[in-house]
Amino acid sequence: MDNQALKDLGLADILLLDRTHELAEPDMLYAFALDELLCRSTGKGGPSICHIWRHPRGFVMGLKDSRLPGAAEAERCLQSQGWSTAVRNSGGAAVPLDLGVINISLIMRKPSVDSFHFHNDFERMYGLISEALKETGCQVGKGEIRGAYCPGEYDLSINGYKFCGIAQRRQTHAFIVQAFIVAEGTGQERTKQVREFYEKAGHGADTLDYPAVTNESTASLQELTNLGEAAGQAFVRAVKQVITSQQTEDGLAAAQEKLVLPTHEQILAMAKVLRERYAIQE
């Protein structure tokens, strides 16, 4: 990516919020609630933020997944196995989260209230991830990968294997682009988890109502690149290096002056709202 393309990502005044080592909060919705509140703040004049986080054992479902006939039973089964579960308010389908999965949220202000150029926002995330992986020498592909979980137009892949999915949440004045990156471990262990979920959740439904997930679709950065067993940490460092290389002193000073982080209590309250609003209906 050339210098102008990097500038076009709009990272000059974005703040980094790295929570990849904050693992004490058991509810996976905590991170989504934080995104929601930060996005509202950004829409009211707050700074752009890149939120990076992990969860030790979470399973996030899409809205369409939550309407499958066996979704409630499948969720209870996951919870009995120690998974934190939730239905997210952004796009996409089922995704398992663990310490080998890196989540990135780009939270930015919309250029106008009636801005619907969501493809540009997906491209921004694609550009950031591609640049972060540039030193691996791997070409990052873009486009739906057949058999992958959480399939979409902005599946990111290397050598035909998906390693990243991107979803989006748009508010009136700001937006969130969320990406999950399978960094460590194997792709097959995650496809197995998702396939087992759909076997339960999709019982009695048309097979076209949920993705047909196959083992040969997904792989981790550990498997696909030269980043090694600590691929997650290496990837996070690379993302942060891309961002810091584009930040300007004036941009950072202005952003930090506008930053107001929500309190722990406010985040928990928003998580409760999201859980109740998007709960699976029996």
Query: Do residues 67 and 33 make contact, with C-beta atoms less than 8 angstroms apart?
Result: no
Q: Which amino acid is at 76?
A: R
Q: Which residues contact 125 (CB under 8 A, 6 or more apart)?
A: 104, 106, 154, 166, 177, 179
Can 138 be counted among the known catalytic residues? no
Report the largest interatomic distance among the alpha carbons of the chain, rounded to a whole angstrom. 57
Contact assessment for residue 94 and residue 151, using Cβ atoms and an 8 Å cutoff: no
In the beta sheet, which residues pair with residue 19? Answer: 53
Q: Of 39, 50, 138, 150, which one is the catalytic site residue?
A: 150
C-alpha 212/C-alpha 194 separation (Å) is 10
User: Do 245 and 235 form a contact (C-beta atoms < 8 A)?
Assistant: no
**What are the phi and psi torsion angles at 8 (to 5°)?**
-65, -15
Measure the CA–CA gap between 11 and 107, rounded to whole angstroms: 11
CA gap 105, 281 in Å, rounded = 28
| Orientation angle between helical segments 231-246 and 118-132, nearest 10 degrees | 110
Determine how many CB atoms are found less than 10 A away from the CB of residue 150.
25
Assess contact for 108 and 10: CB atoms under 8 A.
Answer: yes
Question: What positions carry a catalytic annotation?
Answer: 150
